[in-house]
Amino acid sequence: MTNHWRDIKHADLILINGANPAEAHPVGFQWFVKAKLDPTKGPGSGGGAKIVHADPRYTRTSALADMYLRIRTGTDVAYFGGLINYVLQNKLYHEDYVKNYTNASFIVKQGFDFKDGLFSGYNASTRSYDTSTWTYETEGAALDGPAGSTQAPAKRDKTLQDPRTVFQLLVKHYSRYTPEMVSSITGIPVDQFMQVAKLVGEMGKPDKVMTIVYAVGLTHHTTGGQLIRSAALLQLLLGNMGRPGGGMNAERGHANIQGNTDHAISWEILPGYLRIPAPGQKNLDGYVAASAPKKSDPNSWNFFGTNYRNFMVSLLKAWYGAKATKDNEYAYDFIPKPAVNSSWMSIYDQALKGKMEGVILSGMTATSIGPDSNQVLQALTKLKWLVVFDAFPTTSSEFWRAPGMDAAKINTEVFMLPATHWIEKDGSFVNSGRWSQWKEQVLPPDGDARHDHWITADIFDRVKTLYRNQGGKFPDPIMAMTLDYKDPKKPELDEIAKEINGKDLSTGSQMTSFANLKADGTTTAGDWIYTGSYPDAGNLMKRRNGVQNIQQNDPTGMGFFPQWAWSWPLNRRVMYNRASADLDGKPWDPKRPGIQWNGTTWVGDVPDYPATMNPKDPAAWLPFIMNGEGVGRLFSNSMLDGPFPEHYEPYEAPIANPLHPQQSEDPVAFLYDQAAGRPNRFGKVDKYPYVATSYRLTEHEHYITQQVPLLVGLQPQAFVEVPQELADEKGIKNGDRVRVSSERGKLEVSALVTKRLGPVTLAGNKKVYQIGIPIHWGFIGVSAEQNPERSKYWLANALTPMVGDVGARTPEFKAFLVNIEKF
């Protein structure tokens, strides 16, 4: 989230797309309820907000929304594109904000174009774009700044009239997204879309603000990144980024996916969203030049780009300590430079090809998570060994027991290591709003269970011993790794938290701000965005100064509660908050201030800006200090599939793309089967006529709740949600057993027939049904053991396709084609 849970109550309008907060985040949902509770009190004071929920299913969130829109899954770019078009055509955007706080006025390079569903630079044989035209016209010499972090300034036309301005290109790009086109793609009737457009159109006024809330319903598509970006563009046009009650608010997974991401659970980043080096980046200079944002306006601070080297060197010093020296470029060579994509699906793709010897699974079960569980199961059979750390047996630790598996023919050796549940350890959870909140151990570990990090530390110690005794290729990174803990085999999470914060090696003090990190090897930071969370004064994540004394703990009255836990970055509660105030530093809406200039300093939230920088100074920095441009990007060259979001159909879709049928799907999405020389397994609408989407229920957390009897009772067995009309057509009665099949697998589950799901009418008057498939069950767990026959085909991800978006390689879990039949 750019903002945080409590802040949702400040919104006038709440758009929820690709999310189901009442079910997935019931505790956070209290703030949605409070936002609308009493309309007489007004936004921020107890009510009056409207909630618009666009979703393929009428969910427990829809039940409390003011408007529900039945949208076809995976078409939110068309929905947001239509809203962008409406706002542009009717000049409802926040003009001052757009001119001064976005790159609307930047001139785009000659040669950039969009035609027939493709941006300029497409190479069909490599399925990739040459993005060299997706940039700005520049003039003059490169701007001043640290090496690798600057370029020549971009040309601008502040009147926004030049046809090559980002603004004019944006107007042109989205002019195709008429209400009729939106309706033909999404299935939302034109009149309903227009009602939402009118509400949204009001939100460009400075005294109005809208929040957009989303979750993996936007992420899990081959266009995932662009689905989210389309919403962010709308927020920039309306001037809602950086403001209390506004922002782009991702609901993150339980209970610590935000923390996972921050600490580089994803292969392409290092902690703190520093990029993993790539082959060819032979030294720090090459790495920074390829990775750091480039200052492209004289008034851009380019804070991230300017400090990129400081953050990287401080990370290297945290990891390699005394072995990281000026002479060896702080052990930059110790960091792997992967030549191939190493994301989630790629692991199983490699295993399938027999190129993985072993896999360690900690905190997840690959089989259930999928996609394409049957193919994952096959991949696991090709391993020499599989290690699972978990509190309970999982569908991975027991994969050889899956229906259809012949254990006698599987040579994979499986090691099940009992690990503690989070109830059995202390540590931090980082919530969606970036608050790192320390928790205590509730129960001591059960039986022989050990913490995942202790198991990992023990394995590391044994590997290190092997290197020491037997030598080996390139032992240096292993031997140099700092393990500055009381017991290196049992590091305390408190010790790790201190290490993540980092220290000043010349004084021995804990760092208090990442602004003080240096590239000369005198500072450390295990994750620069957490620097400041654990100063010498102690662990700020433990703070709990909340509503017990509101006057004292929330001095601004804006719900920031600065002494409740600690929020990255620098305890800031709303990111980009310089944009909450106008050019002179006055809040756009005095009733809902983020920060404001009082003549000598910025007050309110922790400013996302130098605390004493006078906004009226001609040299004052632009508001978005992390971007090279200094402003929000309506046009971005950092996406691999286009500088503007464009609607592409899911890889399994019921219709051809009404915008450009000859280029229906995302042209650069990664097709694992095809790339590996296997035939693609995408179903066609003649055989699989129904659109399906997958999701979790409020009664479940991941897969572990299959082991909690009281929760099993609430949703005891696998089912699918079937629209009443479709059920009538197919002769399916409520509670009947049904077989749901895709090109990749099948489910045999009960049907929950409901009017909450229904048909959408798409281009050419085509009526399409959507089926809902909750993920949770499998052949392991309390219900499976009670129903061994019924539970054979309960793995929802047996259906989902192994295809990923080009950037994050996120699987298309949320849109695929199936058939359904009673049996």
Nearer to another protein, 40 or 470 (CB): 40
Residue 781 DSSP symbol = S
Burial class of residue 646, CB neighbours in 10 A (0-12, 13-18, 19+)? buried
Which of 232, 236, 284, 751 binds another protein (CB under 8 A)? It is: 751
Helix axes 179-186, 190-201, angle to 10 degrees: 120
23 near another protein, judged by CB under 8 A:
yes
Say whether 721 sits in a helix, a strand or coil: strand
Q: How far apart are CA 57 and CA 19, in angstroms?
A: 11
Nearer to another protein, 468 or 755 (CB): 755
Single out the residue of 260, 299, 362, 750 in contact with another protein (rule: CB under 8 A): 750
| Stretch 47-66 residues interacting with another protein (CB under 8 A) | 47, 50, 58, 60-66
Q: How many CB atoms lie within 10 A of CB 132?
A: 12
Residues 501 and 515 sit within 8 Å (Cβ to Cβ): no
For another protein, the closer of residues 22 and 639 by Cβ is 22
Asked if 788 is part of the footprint of another protein (rule: CB under 8 A), the reply reads no
Nearer to another protein, 63 or 322 (CB): 63
Provide the minimum distance between the beta carbon of 437 and another protein in the complex, in angstroms, as a whole number. Answer: 17
Distances (CA, A) of 49 to 301, 401, 719: 36, 51, 34
Decide: is 707 part of the binding site for another protein (CB under 8 A). no
- Under rule CB under 8 A, residue 342 binds another protein: no
Tokens of 614: 């006078």
Using the rule CB under 8 A, which residue among 40, 125, 549, 551 binds another protein? 40
Half-sphere exposure of 131 (CA within 13 A, CB side): 13
Q: Looking at residue 125, what DSSP letter applies?
A: T
The correct pick among 613, 697, 704, 808 for binding another protein (CB under 8 A) is: 697
What is d(CA 460, CA 615) in angstroms, rounded to the nearest whole number?
A: 51
Size of the site for another protein (CB under 8 A): 59
Residue 712 as a binder of another protein (CB under 8 A): the answer is yes
Of 14, 16, 19, 22, the residue at the interface with another protein (CB under 8 A) is 22
The answer to whether 521 touches 503, Cβ cutoff 8 Å, is no
Q: How far apart are CA 697 and CA 319, in angstroms?
A: 40
Per CB under 8 A, the list member of 448, 619, 710, 789 interacting with another protein is 710
- Please answer whether residues 526 and 581 qualify as being in contact, where contact means their C-beta atoms are separated by less than 8 angstroms: no
Q: Is 759 in the site for another protein (CB under 8 A)?
A: yes
Residue 613 or 768 with smaller CB distance to another protein? 768
Question: Smallest gap, in angstroms, from Cβ of residue 712 to another protein?
Answer: 5
Single residue of 407, 463, 547, 714 touching another protein by CB under 8 A? 714
Collapse the DSSP code of 529 into the 3-class scheme (helix H, G, I; strand E, B; otherwise coil) and give the result.
Answer: helix
Task: By CB under 8 A, tell whether 782 contacts another protein.
Answer: yes
Which of 298, 403, 735, 788 binds another protein (CB under 8 A)? It is 735
- Who contacts 403 (Cβ-Cβ below 8 Å, separation ≥6)? 779, 792, 793
Closest CA to 774 of 813, 732, 806, 727: 813
Specify the residue, 311 or 435, whose C-beta has the smaller distance to another protein: 435
Residue 26 as a binder of another protein (CB under 8 A): the answer is yes
Q: Three-state secondary structure along 592-604?
A: CCCEEECCCCEEE
688 binds another protein (CB under 8 A): no
Q: Which residue has the tokens 């809602």?
A: 240
Q: Which of 146, 189, 206, 689 binds another protein (CB under 8 A)?
A: 189
* 255 touching another protein, by CB under 8 A: no
φ and ψ at 232, to 5 degrees? -65, -35
Measured CA distances, 780 to 35, 400, 776 (Å): 41, 12, 10
Q: 137 vs 701, which CB is nearer to another protein?
A: 701
**Is residue 696 a contact residue for another protein (CB under 8 A)?**
no
- Of positions 5, 29, 136, 695, contacts another protein by CB under 8 A: 29
Which span (442-450, 516-524, 665-673, 757-765) binds another protein, by CB under 8 A?
757-765
Nearer to another protein, 65 or 387 (CB): 65
Quote the CA–CA distance of 551 and 555 in Å, as a whole number.
Answer: 6
Terminal CA-to-CA distance of the chain, rounded, Å?
A: 44
User: Which residues make up the interface to another protein (CB under 8 A)?
Assistant: 22-23, 26-27, 29-30, 33, 37-40, 47, 50, 58, 60-70, 187-189, 192, 195, 697-699, 709-717, 719, 734-735, 750-756, 758-761, 782-783, 786
